[in-house]
Structure 1
Amino acid sequence: MLLYGYKRCSTCRDAHKTLQESGANVQFHDIVDRPPSEQTIRTWMERSGRPVEDFVNTRGTVYRERDLKHAKFTEDEWIRELSKDGKLLKRPILETDKEVFVGYHEGAYRRIALGEDQ
Protein backbone atom coordinates (compact mmCIF):
# COMPACT_ATOMS: atom_id res chain seq x y z
CA MET A 1 0.00 0.00 0.00
CA LEU A 2 1.11 3.53 -0.71
CA LEU A 3 -0.23 6.50 1.24
CA TYR A 4 0.19 9.86 -0.43
CA GLY A 5 -0.01 12.78 1.95
CA TYR A 6 1.74 15.74 3.51
CA LYS A 7 3.98 15.04 6.48
CA ARG A 8 2.81 18.21 8.26
CA CYS A 9 -0.89 17.29 7.86
CA SER A 10 -2.37 15.79 11.02
CA THR A 11 -5.05 13.91 9.05
CA CYS A 12 -2.36 12.29 6.90
CA ARG A 13 -0.40 11.33 10.00
CA ASP A 14 -3.56 9.86 11.57
CA ALA A 15 -4.27 7.87 8.40
CA HIS A 16 -0.73 6.51 8.34
CA LYS A 17 -0.92 5.57 12.01
CA THR A 18 -4.29 3.82 11.55
CA LEU A 19 -2.91 1.71 8.71
CA GLN A 20 0.24 0.81 10.61
CA GLU A 21 -1.67 -0.07 13.80
CA SER A 22 -3.97 -2.27 11.71
CA GLY A 23 -0.99 -4.23 10.44
CA ALA A 24 -0.86 -2.87 6.90
CA ASN A 25 2.39 -2.79 5.00
CA VAL A 26 2.23 0.88 4.02
CA GLN A 27 4.75 3.31 2.59
CA PHE A 28 4.33 7.08 2.90
CA HIS A 29 4.93 9.42 -0.03
CA ASP A 30 5.03 13.15 0.71
CA ILE A 31 3.15 14.89 -2.11
CA VAL A 32 4.53 18.31 -1.19
CA ASP A 33 8.18 17.24 -1.33
CA ARG A 34 7.56 15.09 -4.42
CA PRO A 35 4.28 15.87 -6.22
CA PRO A 36 2.87 13.00 -8.25
CA SER A 37 3.26 12.96 -12.02
CA GLU A 38 0.42 13.74 -14.38
CA GLN A 39 0.30 10.04 -15.29
CA THR A 40 -0.02 9.03 -11.63
CA ILE A 41 -2.97 11.39 -11.21
CA ARG A 42 -4.61 10.00 -14.35
CA THR A 43 -4.13 6.48 -13.01
CA TRP A 44 -5.74 7.49 -9.70
CA MET A 45 -8.72 8.90 -11.56
CA GLU A 46 -9.09 5.76 -13.64
CA ARG A 47 -8.72 3.34 -10.71
CA SER A 48 -10.98 5.32 -8.38
CA GLY A 49 -13.61 6.20 -10.96
CA ARG A 50 -13.53 9.76 -9.69
CA PRO A 51 -13.23 12.99 -11.67
CA VAL A 52 -10.24 15.29 -11.30
CA GLU A 53 -12.30 17.71 -9.20
CA ASP A 54 -12.43 15.09 -6.42
CA PHE A 55 -8.64 15.32 -6.15
CA VAL A 56 -8.56 19.10 -5.68
CA ASN A 57 -8.00 20.39 -2.14
CA THR A 58 -10.64 23.13 -2.17
CA ARG A 59 -10.07 23.85 1.53
CA GLY A 60 -6.35 24.51 1.22
CA THR A 61 -4.55 27.82 1.32
CA VAL A 62 -3.03 27.48 -2.16
CA TYR A 63 -6.50 26.99 -3.65
CA ARG A 64 -7.83 30.04 -1.82
CA GLU A 65 -4.77 32.25 -2.39
CA ARG A 66 -4.87 31.56 -6.13
CA ASP A 67 -8.67 32.04 -6.21
CA LEU A 68 -9.07 28.75 -8.03
CA LYS A 69 -12.75 28.52 -7.13
CA HIS A 70 -13.44 30.51 -10.28
CA ALA A 71 -10.88 28.75 -12.47
CA LYS A 72 -12.26 27.32 -15.70
CA PHE A 73 -9.57 24.67 -16.09
CA THR A 74 -10.01 21.69 -18.36
CA GLU A 75 -9.29 18.24 -16.92
CA ASP A 76 -5.80 18.33 -18.47
CA GLU A 77 -5.11 21.76 -16.98
CA TRP A 78 -6.21 20.62 -13.50
CA ILE A 79 -4.02 17.54 -13.76
CA ARG A 80 -1.07 19.72 -14.77
CA GLU A 81 -1.65 22.07 -11.80
CA LEU A 82 -2.02 19.18 -9.34
CA SER A 83 1.22 17.63 -10.55
CA LYS A 84 3.07 20.92 -9.99
CA ASP A 85 1.89 21.64 -6.44
CA GLY A 86 1.12 18.83 -4.02
CA LYS A 87 -0.69 21.23 -1.69
CA LEU A 88 -3.44 21.46 -4.29
CA LEU A 89 -4.17 17.75 -3.89
CA LYS A 90 -6.83 16.55 -1.52
CA ARG A 91 -5.23 14.24 0.96
CA PRO A 92 -4.57 11.62 1.94
CA ILE A 93 -4.74 9.41 -1.12
CA LEU A 94 -4.41 5.69 -0.48
CA GLU A 95 -3.32 3.43 -3.30
CA THR A 96 -3.78 -0.31 -2.86
CA ASP A 97 -3.23 -3.12 -5.35
CA LYS A 98 -6.82 -2.80 -6.53
CA GLU A 99 -8.17 0.66 -5.70
CA VAL A 100 -7.47 4.29 -4.94
CA PHE A 101 -9.18 6.06 -2.04
CA VAL A 102 -9.33 9.85 -1.61
CA GLY A 103 -9.69 11.28 1.90
CA TYR A 104 -9.60 9.61 5.28
CA HIS A 105 -12.17 7.71 7.29
CA GLU A 106 -10.71 5.70 10.15
CA GLY A 107 -13.14 2.77 9.95
CA ALA A 108 -12.69 2.40 6.21
CA TYR A 109 -8.91 2.54 6.54
CA ARG A 110 -8.99 -0.19 9.20
CA ARG A 111 -11.09 -2.41 6.88
CA ILE A 112 -8.75 -1.68 3.98
CA ALA A 113 -5.71 -2.57 6.12
CA LEU A 114 -7.33 -5.85 7.05
CA GLY A 115 -8.04 -6.61 3.40
CA GLU A 116 -11.83 -6.42 3.74
CA ASP A 117 -12.18 -3.84 0.95
CA GLN A 118 -9.68 -5.50 -1.36
Structure 2
Amino acid sequence: MAMTFYWYPKCGTCRKAKNWLDDHQFAYEAVHIADNPPSRSELEDLYKKSGLDLKKFFNTSGMKYRELGLKDKVKSSSDDELLDLLATDGMLIKRPILTDGQKVTVGFKEEDFEKSWA
Protein backbone atom coordinates (compact mmCIF):
# COMPACT_ATOMS: atom_id res chain seq x y z
CA MET A 1 0.00 0.00 0.00
CA ALA A 2 1.27 3.47 -0.86
CA MET A 3 2.09 5.65 2.08
CA THR A 4 1.44 9.30 2.77
CA PHE A 5 4.46 11.32 3.86
CA TYR A 6 3.65 14.75 5.29
CA TRP A 7 6.79 16.86 5.20
CA TYR A 8 8.29 20.30 4.91
CA PRO A 9 11.04 20.30 2.25
CA LYS A 10 13.21 22.88 4.08
CA CYS A 11 13.24 20.71 7.23
CA GLY A 12 16.48 18.72 7.61
CA THR A 13 14.77 15.97 9.60
CA CYS A 14 12.14 15.62 6.88
CA ARG A 15 14.84 15.34 4.22
CA LYS A 16 16.57 12.59 6.24
CA ALA A 17 13.28 10.70 6.50
CA LYS A 18 12.66 11.12 2.76
CA ASN A 19 16.15 9.79 2.00
CA TRP A 20 15.49 6.80 4.27
CA LEU A 21 12.23 6.07 2.43
CA ASP A 22 13.95 6.44 -0.95
CA ASP A 23 16.90 4.26 0.11
CA HIS A 24 14.46 1.54 1.23
CA GLN A 25 12.43 1.92 -2.01
CA PHE A 26 9.10 2.80 -0.39
CA ALA A 27 6.27 4.06 -2.56
CA TYR A 28 4.78 7.18 -1.00
CA GLU A 29 2.92 10.36 -1.77
CA ALA A 30 4.86 13.36 -0.47
CA VAL A 31 2.53 16.06 0.86
CA HIS A 32 3.90 19.53 1.68
CA ILE A 33 2.55 20.00 5.22
CA ALA A 34 2.48 23.80 5.07
CA ASP A 35 0.78 24.00 1.65
CA ASN A 36 -1.57 21.03 2.13
CA PRO A 37 -1.90 20.31 5.85
CA PRO A 38 -4.06 17.42 7.01
CA SER A 39 -7.63 18.43 7.82
CA ARG A 40 -8.93 18.32 11.37
CA SER A 41 -10.60 14.95 10.73
CA GLU A 42 -7.41 13.60 9.14
CA LEU A 43 -5.41 14.83 12.14
CA GLU A 44 -7.83 13.13 14.52
CA ASP A 45 -7.50 9.88 12.56
CA LEU A 46 -3.68 10.12 12.53
CA TYR A 47 -3.67 10.86 16.25
CA LYS A 48 -5.89 7.88 17.13
CA LYS A 49 -3.88 5.47 14.96
CA SER A 50 -0.53 6.71 16.26
CA GLY A 51 -1.11 5.76 19.88
CA LEU A 52 0.80 8.93 20.84
CA ASP A 53 -0.17 11.72 23.18
CA LEU A 54 -1.72 14.52 21.09
CA LYS A 55 0.91 16.93 22.44
CA LYS A 56 3.49 14.94 20.41
CA PHE A 57 1.84 16.28 17.24
CA PHE A 58 2.96 19.85 17.99
CA ASN A 59 6.11 21.27 16.43
CA THR A 60 7.35 22.66 19.74
CA SER A 61 10.54 24.04 18.21
CA GLY A 62 8.70 25.97 15.51
CA MET A 63 8.43 29.76 15.40
CA LYS A 64 4.64 29.63 15.12
CA TYR A 65 4.37 27.55 18.32
CA ARG A 66 6.50 30.07 20.21
CA GLU A 67 4.80 33.13 18.65
CA LEU A 68 1.41 31.88 19.82
CA GLY A 69 2.75 31.03 23.28
CA LEU A 70 1.32 27.52 23.12
CA LYS A 71 3.55 25.87 25.73
CA ASP A 72 1.09 26.43 28.59
CA LYS A 73 -2.05 26.31 26.46
CA VAL A 74 -1.20 22.82 25.18
CA LYS A 75 -0.95 21.54 28.77
CA SER A 76 -4.43 22.73 29.73
CA SER A 77 -6.46 22.28 26.54
CA SER A 78 -8.79 19.42 25.63
CA ASP A 79 -8.04 17.09 22.72
CA ASP A 80 -10.79 18.78 20.70
CA GLU A 81 -9.24 22.21 21.30
CA LEU A 82 -5.78 20.90 20.40
CA LEU A 83 -7.01 19.27 17.18
CA ASP A 84 -8.78 22.50 16.21
CA LEU A 85 -5.55 24.41 16.86
CA LEU A 86 -3.38 21.98 14.88
CA ALA A 87 -5.78 22.21 11.93
CA THR A 88 -5.29 25.99 11.69
CA ASP A 89 -1.68 25.88 10.46
CA GLY A 90 0.49 23.10 9.03
CA MET A 91 3.56 24.72 10.57
CA LEU A 92 2.23 23.87 14.05
CA ILE A 93 2.36 20.16 13.22
CA LYS A 94 5.45 18.12 14.05
CA ARG A 95 6.92 16.57 10.96
CA PRO A 96 7.40 14.37 9.18
CA ILE A 97 4.28 12.27 9.60
CA LEU A 98 4.25 8.94 7.80
CA THR A 99 1.19 6.73 7.51
CA ASP A 100 0.09 3.70 5.56
CA GLY A 101 -3.51 4.16 6.66
CA GLN A 102 -3.07 1.84 9.64
CA LYS A 103 0.19 2.86 11.32
CA VAL A 104 1.41 6.39 11.95
CA THR A 105 4.82 7.72 12.95
CA VAL A 106 5.54 11.33 13.90
CA GLY A 107 9.03 12.76 13.59
CA PHE A 108 12.03 10.80 12.35
CA LYS A 109 14.46 8.59 14.18
CA GLU A 110 16.06 6.00 11.95
CA GLU A 111 15.74 3.21 14.54
CA ASP A 112 12.00 3.94 14.92
CA PHE A 113 11.51 3.84 11.15
CA GLU A 114 13.40 0.54 11.04
CA LYS A 115 11.09 -0.91 13.69
CA SER A 116 7.87 0.48 12.24
CA TRP A 117 8.39 0.30 8.50
CA ALA A 118 11.28 -2.01 7.54
1:108 is displaced (CA, Å) by 3.1
> What secondary structure, in the 3-state scheme, does the structure 2 residue paired with 1:59 have?
coil
Secondary structure, aligned partner of 2:5? strand
Alignment partners' CA distance in 2, 1:31 and 1:113: 21
Aligned partner of 1:93 in structure 2 is 97
Q: CA RMSD in A?
A: 1.5
Which residue pairs with 1:3 in the alignment? 5
Percentage of pairs with the same residue? 35
Q: 44, 68, 90: which one pairs with 1:66?
A: 68
Structure 1 residue 65, shift from structure 2 partner = 1.1
Conserved in 2, the CA contact under 8 Å of 1:5 and 1:91? yes
SS at structure 2 position matched to 1:29: strand
TM-score by length of 1: 0.87
Q: Distance in 1 between matches of 2:96 and 2:83?
A: 17
The secondary structure found in structure 1 opposite 2:31 is strand
- Residue of 16, 25, 30 corresponding to 1:28: 30
Segments ≥4 residues shifted beyond 3 Å: 110-114
**TM-score of the superposed pair, with normalisation by structure 2:** 0.87
Amino acid corresponding to residue 46 of structure 2 in structure 1: W
Conserved? CA contact 1:6–1:32, under 8 Å = yes
Deviations along 1:47-78, whole A, 9 cap, x unmatched?
11122111011111111111111213221111
The amino acid of 1:27's aligned partner reads E
Unaligned runs of 5+ in 1: none
- Tell me the alpha carbon deviations over residues 58-103 of structure 1, each in whole angstroms, 9 at most, x when there is no partner: 1111111111112132211111111110111111111024300111
What pairs up with 1:31-70 in 2 under 5 angstroms? 31-70=33-72
